[in-house]
Amino acid sequence: MIEIGIVGKPSVGKSTFFSASTLIDVPIDPRPFTTIEPNTGIGFVRVEDIGFELGVRSEPRNGFILGKYRYVSVKMIDVAGLVPGAHQGRGLGNKFLNDLNQAEGLIHIIDLSGSTDEEGRYIGPGKRDPEEDILFLEHELDMWYRDILIRNMERIQREIRSGKERWEALYNVFSSLRLSREDAEEAMRRYDLSSEELPRFLRERSKRIVIAGNKKDVPKAMENYDRLKKKYNIIPVSAEAELALKRAAKSGLIRYVYGESDFEIVGNPNDQQRAALDRLRQTMPTNIQQVIEHLVFNVLGYIAVFPAGSKLVDRQGRVLPDCFLMKAGSRLEDFAAAIHSDLAKYLLYGIDVRTKRKLGKDYILQHRDGIEIVSSAK
């Protein structure tokens, strides 16, 4: 499963974002360092389900259907707040950074309202430039990579002396941080091992970042957004509003299709609840879904593909139970392998469930394909 790290300084709303995206309650507190052990949970990306157009009602094995969407699982990690000097161990920084090893992409939460200082202490809206949040965190991540490179330099040099390619020696150290072979090769084509620019390159390639400007419900936040959006790709979000909407939905007060711009009142809110719901509506869409989806689909380059057995059911009779996230550019063969290694081994061809067209092993998968795999495996 794709792993996504939620990072940022303390008190920007990481745990709120995590709860809102995973529906798990974790301690949310205005004090710094509320979170020490990383919380892990399942978040989701939306894909328009193909069951509707095929005239069937899908029965997801993982995730769920809401509105016209299938919500497909991704793993979310809520990492403790990072403070300046984290890479040197400040505020348990090293431990927290190591929690990110396996993350493929990061959602960097900043306090767009500028209400908190560098350590997460409340100072009031507009008192800090959120750009500083961005710069400091990226710097800490770069320094973390730099330290790992320096610590392993002897090992890398030794491997090169014993005949390994430079990229391979580098890859052996950074693959545990999810650096790909291709990126290790490119790094060594572009930089010397001693280059000051190498750590940043490695970090950018192995930890793609989307910036979520949280607390967009605070008036000052949108002012900051208008200024910063020219320079950074920021998505303004309100984690707190999303959490409130999901709780209202859970209690039966509203029907809310997660990620949409509106909800429907289905329960009997009292006057106070009604006023609160009206306020929430002003903050919609909360953009929590949008941030996760932007990272997974646009930045990390995944597409969603539905395996479909004959008559769209699996052996247990479940309708379209699965939806796989695959890297764009993957072929039918890769898809078969993602389902089961035997399927790839005995793969004959695929069938597009919409057109009934036969697809060869080299067929390049498209987003929202539904494909029946035909193999000679038993």
Residues that bind ligand GDP (CB under 6 A): 8, 10-16, 28-30, 34-35, 81, 214-215, 217-218, 238-241
Judged by beta carbon, residue 61 or residue 121, the one nearer ligand GDP is 121
| Minimal distance, residue 85 CB to ligand GDP, in Å | 17
Judged by beta carbon, residue 30 or residue 301, the one nearer Mg ion is 30
21, 35, 214, 286: residue in contact with Mg ion (rule CB under 5 A): 35
4, 15, 205, 347: residue in contact with Mg ion (rule CB under 5 A): 15
Judged by beta carbon, residue 78 or residue 183, the one nearer Mg ion is 78
Report what 16 binds from ligand GDP, Mg ion, none; CB cut-off 5-8 Å by kind.
ligand GDP
| Minimal distance, residue 148 CB to ligand GDP, in Å | 25
Segment lying near Mg ion (by CB under 5 A), choices 29-37, 174-182, 321-329, 368-376: 29-37
Judged by beta carbon, residue 15 or residue 238, the one nearer Mg ion is 15
Q: Is residue 286 at the binding interface for Mg ion, with CB under 5 A as the rule? A: no
Distance CA 45, CA 325 (A): 10
- Position of minimal CB gap to ligand GDP: 13
Report what 11 binds from ligand GDP, Mg ion, none; CB cut-off 5-8 Å by kind.
ligand GDP
Distance CA 308, CA 326 (A): 15
Distance CA 131, CA 111 (A): 9
Judged by beta carbon, residue 85 or residue 267, the one nearer ligand GDP is 85
Report what 13 binds from ligand GDP, Mg ion, none; CB cut-off 5-8 Å by kind.
ligand GDP
> Residues near 41 by Cβ (< 8 Å), separated by ≥ 6?
18, 21, 22, 23, 24, 75, 76, 78
φ/ψ (deg, to 5) at 260: -80, 170
φ/ψ (deg, to 5) at 251: -85, 0
| Minimal distance, residue 82 CB to Mg ion, in Å | 11
| Minimal distance, residue 264 CB to ligand GDP, in Å | 22
| Minimal distance, residue 151 CB to ligand GDP, in Å | 29
- Site size toward Mg ion, by CB under 5 A: 4
Judged by beta carbon, residue 237 or residue 326, the one nearer ligand GDP is 237
| Minimal distance, residue 242 CB to ligand GDP, in Å | 8
Judged by beta carbon, residue 66 or residue 243, the one nearer Mg ion is 243
Segment lying near Mg ion (by CB under 5 A), choices 7-15, 95-103, 247-255, 295-303: 7-15
| Minimal distance, residue 355 CB to ligand GDP, in Å | 44
| Minimal distance, residue 31 CB to Mg ion, in Å | 10
| Minimal distance, residue 357 CB to Mg ion, in Å | 49
Report what 240 binds from Mg ion, ligand GDP, none; CB cut-off 5-8 Å by kind.
ligand GDP
Report what 12 binds from Mg ion, ligand GDP, none; CB cut-off 5-8 Å by kind.
ligand GDP
Judged by beta carbon, residue 198 or residue 234, the one nearer ligand GDP is 234
Distance CA 191, CA 201 (A): 9
Joined together, the tokens standing for residue 133 give 């949040």
HEC sequence for the chain: CCEEEEECCCCCCHHHHHHHHHCCCCCCCCCCCCCCCCEEEEEEEEEECCHHHHCCCCCCCCCEEECCEEEEEEEEEECCCCCCCHHHCHHHHHHHHHCCCCCCEEEEEEECCCCECCCCCECCCCCCCHHHHHHHHHHHHHHHHHHHHHHCHHHHHHHHHCCCCHHHHHHHHHHHHCCCHHHHHHHHHHCCCCCCCHHHHHHHHHCEEEEEEECCCCHHHHHHHHHHCCCCCEEECCHHHHHHHHHHHHCCCEECCCCCCCCEECCCCCHHHHHHHHHHHHCCCCCHHHHHHHHHHHHCCEEEEEECCHHHECCCCCECCCCEEEECCCEHHHHHHHHCHHHHHCEEEEEECCCCCEECCCCECCCCEEEEEEECCC
Residues forming the site for Mg ion (CB under 5 A): 14-15, 34-35
